[in-house]
Amino acid sequence: LMTHTPVVSERRLQALRDTVNRRDRSRAPMEFSLMYSAQHRSGEILMGDGSVTDLSHLGLGIRGNTVVMPGMELALFLYLPDGQDPLFVMETKVAWTSGCQFGVEIMEMGLREGNRLRHFLCSTLTPSE
């Protein structure tokens, strides 16, 4: 009776894998530098820099040199390879961390910055988006 159970969980695993891979496809893999900062409750300022590993208009993957914790709020300066000043992202929240890699969700950014990010993404993402 129990013989079909592993097959179901294997299928479920595959569906999960497909979902994860699908998410990766909607994010443009790229590499450019950024700076990030957070303010601890103690008032102490945390500063870090690193590189963006993937990007969407909802969030980014980052490889950084300063450890952050899930739930932390970070401000970002993105050095987009578009020759302009760094793009300032007012507020992001750390969604996950794994060693020196972490992902952030964009919570708030200015209208001009948002438009610039969208324009940058449109120009770098493949038309299959």
Per-residue model confidence (pLDDT) at position 24 = 45
- Binned at pLDDT 50, 70 and 90, residue 4 comes out as very low
Q: What is the pTM of this model?
A: 0.72
- The rounded distance, in Å, linking the Cα atoms of 72 and 40 is 9
Neighbours of 95 (CB within 10 A): 14
Q: Using one digit for the tens of pLDDT, what is the confidence trace for 14-44? A: 655 555 544 444 566 678 999 999 987 788 8
- Binned at pLDDT 50, 70 and 90, residue 129 comes out as very low
- How high does pLDDT run on average in the chain? 83
- The rounded distance, in Å, linking the Cα atoms of 89 and 74 is 9
Q: Using one digit for the tens of pLDDT, what is the confidence trace for 53-70? A: 999 889 999 999 999 999
- The rounded distance, in Å, linking the Cα atoms of 52 and 87 is 13
Per-residue model confidence (pLDDT) at position 13 = 62
